[in-house]
Amino acid sequence: MNIHVEDLHYTYPGGEEALRGISLEIAAGEQVAMVGQNGSGKTTLVKHFNGLLQPTRGQVRIGSLETRAVSVARLAANVGYVFQNPDEQLFCKTVGEEVAFGPRNLGFAPEKVAVLTARALELTELGDRAASNPYDLSPTWRKMVALASILSMDTAIVVLDEPTTGQDSASVARIARTVDALRAQGKTVVAITHDIDFAAENFARVIALGEGRVLLDGPAAEVLGQEEVLAQT
């Protein structure tokens, strides 16, 4: 399922022009890192992928779905969004319930929910913590719970908002393995990140935003090598 963004403009109700004409295409199965300084529009852009925000002008299509024309629920079956702060996302009493919630909510049969939940717990190495209360876990592991609770929905597209921020090296390696596994499954991954090493090591393509526009878009080495342009952002 590809992501098609065409001349996207977005102005917040307060008048802040966050996106100023973004056009890009992300093919099904591509892994893309999105970089750029704070306030460059990264989060605003990805929130258009699952319909959390609607274009002020221009359009966004997820496969054949124009985001303005379909419900957020319909988009949620196709685009998973892992929040930067897991505490905005977690609300169940156990890790297992949390991870099973999404696929159950999508209406999958119980057997499928069980398989997807087990697979997501295994991928995130949470298998032996399924009975724990997410809030008894460290913030590092809570982040893995938030990730697992999106992976279990088996969406074609997974958006990760600052996945490595505040994570120790073991957790960063775990997240990198998850991105690898998603690649092997043919999933599209879009990760907002400040972590240049993480971007370089795990993503073939990097898009750099600045002031609501695409500054650079291409192979990771090429984009991340343009330090002068990136420094301006």
Name the 3-class secondary structure at 100.
helix
Q: Based on CB atoms, which residue is closest to ligand ADP, 180 or 217?
A: 217
For 71, phi then psi, to 5°, come to: -75, 160
Give least dist CB 71 to ligand ADP, A: 22
> Which strands form 3-11's sheet, in the order they lie side by side?
17-26, 3-11, 57-62, 65-66
CA atoms of 91 and 53, how far apart (whole Å): 23
Q: Based on CB atoms, which residue is closest to ligand ADP, 12 or 135?
A: 12
Give least dist CB 198 to ligand ADP, A: 16
Burial 182-215 (b: 16+ CB within 10 A, else e): bbeeebbbbbbbebeebbeebbebbbbbbbbebb
Give least dist CB 186 to ligand ADP, A: 27
Half-sphere exposure of 89 (CA within 13 A, CB side): 24
Q: What is the longest distance spanned by two Cα atoms in the chain?
A: 53
Contact 49, 3 (CB under 8 A): yes
Q: Based on CB atoms, which residue is closest to ligand ADP, 42 or 174?
A: 42
Give least dist CB 141 to ligand ADP, A: 25
Q: Based on CB atoms, which residue is closest to ligand ADP, 86 or 210?
A: 210
Q: Based on CB atoms, which residue is closest to ligand ADP, 40 or 89?
A: 40
Q: Based on CB atoms, which residue is closest to ligand ADP, 42 or 104?
A: 42
Q: Which residue type sits at 202?
A: N
Give least dist CB 18 to ligand ADP, A: 3
Give least dist CB 39 to ligand ADP, A: 4
Pairing of strands 17-26, 3-11: antiparallel
Which residues contribute to the site for ligand ADP (CB under 6 A)? 12, 14, 16, 18, 36, 38-44
Contact 76, 62 (CB under 8 A): no
